[in-house]
Structure 1
Amino acid sequence: MRGVVVTGLGVTTAVGQGKEDFTASLLSGHHAFGVLRRPGRSVPVGTDGSAISASFLGAEMAEPAMPGHISARTLRTASLSSRVALATLDEAWRDAGLDEADPARIGLVIGGSNVQQRELVQLHARYSEHPEFLRPTYGMAFMDTDLCGFCTEQFPIRGFAHTLGGASASGLLAVLQAVRAVQSGQVDVCVAVGALMDLSYWELLAFRAMGAMGSHRWADDPAAACRPFDLGHDGFVFGEACGVVVVEREGLRRHPAPYARFLGGGTAMDGNRNPNPSAEGEVAVLEAALREAGLPASAVDYVNPHGTGSPTGDETELRALRRAGLDHARINATKSLTGHGLTAAGAVEVVATLLQMREQRLHPTRNLVDPLDETFPWVREKAEPCQVGTAVSLSMGFGGISSAICLEAC
């Protein structure tokens, strides 16, 4: 992967829209957890007048500020996932100065599948009694490739565009795929988007039923619910998010200050449909990323982990980090501030890693009161200075997908 650098970033989350706002929120330990109130995320009231379930907790963003060149007509049929992708891509596009790049040599990878579920559920309910009035654009909107259509229509991306589904590893897999596309010469510049996964109450109910998402335990104290690597954890807490990473061939264009250079990456499958993680798979991708980077584990300064707050997931990840020789590196948990962005998480956490490398400061980990393992060098209540020359970021997804990437400051 040598010779591929990051030249642009974009990020939209509940704790910050735009990389400067997001950086400030990270370093101050800001959060936006509360009861989810977006229409379509509350279980409908039953015929007897009672709700099926209590409300769900999470972090929801404000409506994103849209670029001026995108028309109101375009936005009328754009889903929340599409609107957020457009706004976030615009920031990364301007950051990288891509107006001067050849459109035929720019590619796009959107990480995520089934990312518009809430809006589809609402649409089905709206037209259930009169399906003949369903708007024709539904024929495009129900497919995740609709995000590719929106993005390439509004930005001059003419090399290639496709979606890539890897559950909660999707965002990081999109970044890795973008790097491979540049490395192979398929394109000169590639944009990786970790798409906002817009959950409906159906997905929320299922995640809670399987024990992946947090229970009602913290219903009266939403701020305390998201607890990665803490003994009080009981599942992930959802957080709306989208991250965009622009990668390109080093030295191809004049760029004042690339964020970082890619050194290595790894992906692996556990051969397991179920959501339980595998330490073997996680160790394998860590070792693969370091091997491609040509680095010993001892050379890594910082690890940005998957860290969801799932009891099994957190414990497995710490075992994997120790077995891979990374238990010396500084560690924090971005999801303790943003919540779990699911398909977006991996890209958002690459953005968070790069912004911390730029600042040479690491953000705190909220609610880390009783760590699962005190011997890891945690960043806990406050942001801390740290000289980060090399960093590793991890993402895992349902279906036994593990992924890791190694970054070096330029």
Structure 2
Amino acid sequence: MHKALISGIGVVSAIGVGRAAFADALWQGRSNFGVMRRPGRQSAESAFLGAEIAALPELRNGRGQPYRKLSLSTHAALATADEAWTDAGLAALDPQRIGLVLGGSNLQQRAALLALDPVREQPWYTPPHYAASYCDSDIAAWCAEHLGVQGPVWTAGAASASGLLAVVEAARAVVSGELDACIAVGGLSDLSHLECQAFRSLGAMGSAQYADQPQRACRPFDTARDGFIYGEACAALVVESVDSARRRGASAYMAINGWSAVSDASRQPHPSQQGEMRAVGQALAHAGWRAAEIDYVNPHGSGSPLGDETELAALRASGLGDAWINTTKSLAGHGLTAAGAVETVALALQMRAQRLHPCANLEQPIGGARWVPAQGSPARIGKALKLSMGFGGINIAMCFQHPSQFN
């Protein structure tokens, strides 16, 4: 068995494009919520709150020509995968020993709505490229072509746990020895107004109670929370074998020590404390750690009234009540399929800096926990746990360790 670590990261979000800008926003506790303006995000009557990316970097193909007419999800995936590839220095590796997994499914709902609405009455004018571009695998293929990845390329969907599942899948491929490195991309979930309305009707997406103060709307673990607030985001992480990284002198953000992905055997959207506890317990067992050794937990923390209560209860019952906790979604919003990957990037940045970003809008916490204060905090982060949950009873936990402590 091979050991694995994170040797490169890339991220785009509404609070920062690129890892440096994203890190600065985390340390400053900045958010960027407001009424969403992208075409297709609002119906005639709606005013859904969220956080949208201002601009993505221009990318060029192998002939030096800029890419044209990329979908939002494709452009974000290319930008983050390119940044992570460069950060890790993967050009030095055999491309046949590099893989790529895209976390997410049904990523381009808004793009599909905009493409098909004009031809609903004349379907024979449907653009031919739609036959390939509606597939999530097309986004993964764009990344593979751009980077020259020649190992396995695939997609993995797990609702809002997709981003973290991609990291798990990449780790499995590297630890098994199949690959020297694998890029895990948490795909940008491009919602249309139809998905926003469905989430709102389900009670999952936050209401308009903070319509006149959108920066206060995203409130994970606060008593005034009433659902998630969407945030456009995408992230990529390079999972590489320790042997490969050491051979070429690559540095690491953190090591991967263990993981678990379990099901509640339910297709319902509600959470399960027992399922979350099983994921935590199995991940710790895989790492060979005790709960008391965990310094920091980056939770799912979506702002769901039931979900946050359940997660906090699961953490306490799992013996993690003394670990630091903050809420990346309170700043960046809920990226849905991208969330687990974006928050793992946030974890990596915090572990490298030995500094925890603040929680926003945590004015009246729902229960006892060691919350990171509003101004953030220096902290010793040797061992950390990341949690992600998804509709349909999906629970995922991963254990990460500071590279200086890794054998």
After TM superposition, the score normalised by the length of structure 2 is 0.96
Q: Is the 8 A contact 2:34 2:50 kept in 1?
A: yes
1:394 match: 387
Deviations 1:318-337 (A, max 9, x none): 00001110010000000000
Q: Say which of 124, 132, 140 aligns to 1:140.
A: 132
2:16 match: 16
1:48 match: none
SS in 2 for 1:251: helix
Q: Is the 8 A contact 1:169 1:402 kept in 2?
A: yes
Q: Is the 8 A contact 1:2 1:262 kept in 2?
A: no
1:295 match: 289
**Two-structure CA RMSD over aligned residues (Å):** 1.3
Q: Give me the whole-angstrom Cα distance separating, in 2, the residues matched to 1:102 and 1:70.
A: 18
Deviations 1:2-25 (A, max 9, x none): 610110000100001111111110
1:407 and 2:400 are equivalent in the alignment: yes
**TM-fit CA distance, 1:272:** 1.3
**TM-fit CA distance, 1:73:** 7.3
1:236 and 2:228 are equivalent in the alignment: yes
**TM-fit CA distance, 1:148:** 1.5
**TM-fit CA distance, 1:152:** 1.1
Ranges in structure 2 where 5+ consecutive residues have no aligned partner: none
Ranges in structure 1 where 5+ consecutive residues have no aligned partner: 46-50
Q: Give me the whole-angstrom Cα distance separating, in 1, the residues matched to 2:211 and 2:373.
A: 24
1:272 and 2:259 are equivalent in the alignment: no
1:218 and 2:197 are equivalent in the alignment: no
Q: Is the 8 A contact 2:259 2:399 kept in 1?
A: yes
1:205 match: 197
After TM superposition, the score normalised by the length of structure 1 is 0.96
Q: Say which of 321, 325, 329 aligns to 1:327.
A: 321
**TM-fit CA distance, 1:271:** 1.2
Q: Give me the whole-angstrom Cα distance separating, in 2, the residues matched to 1:396 and 1:200.
A: 22
Q: Give me the whole-angstrom Cα distance separating, in 1, the residues matched to 2:373 and 2:321.
A: 16
SS in 1 for 2:161: helix
Deviations 1:197-219 (A, max 9, x none): 00000100000000000011111
**TM-fit CA distance, 1:35:** 0.4
Q: Is the 8 A contact 1:197 1:342 kept in 2?
A: yes
1:377 and 2:357 are equivalent in the alignment: no
Deviations 1:275-314 (A, max 9, x none): 1000001000101111011111010000000000001000
2:37 match: 37
1:286 and 2:280 are equivalent in the alignment: yes
Q: Is the 8 A contact 2:88 2:250 kept in 1?
A: no
SS in 2 for 1:217: coil
Q: Say which of 241, 260, 263 aligns to 2:254.
A: 260
Q: Say which of 89, 92, 95 aligns to 1:100.
A: 92
SS in 2 for 1:380: coil
| 2:255 alignment partner AA | R
2:242 match: 250
Q: Give me the whole-angstrom Cα distance separating, in 1, the residues matched to 2:96 and 2:66.
A: 23
Aligned length: 401
**TM-fit CA distance, 1:130:** 2.9
SS in 2 for 1:76: coil
Q: Is the 8 A contact 2:59 2:67 kept in 1?
A: no
1:358 match: 352
Deviations 1:162-208 (A, max 9, x none): 11000000000000000000111111110000000000001000000
| 1:121 alignment partner AA | L
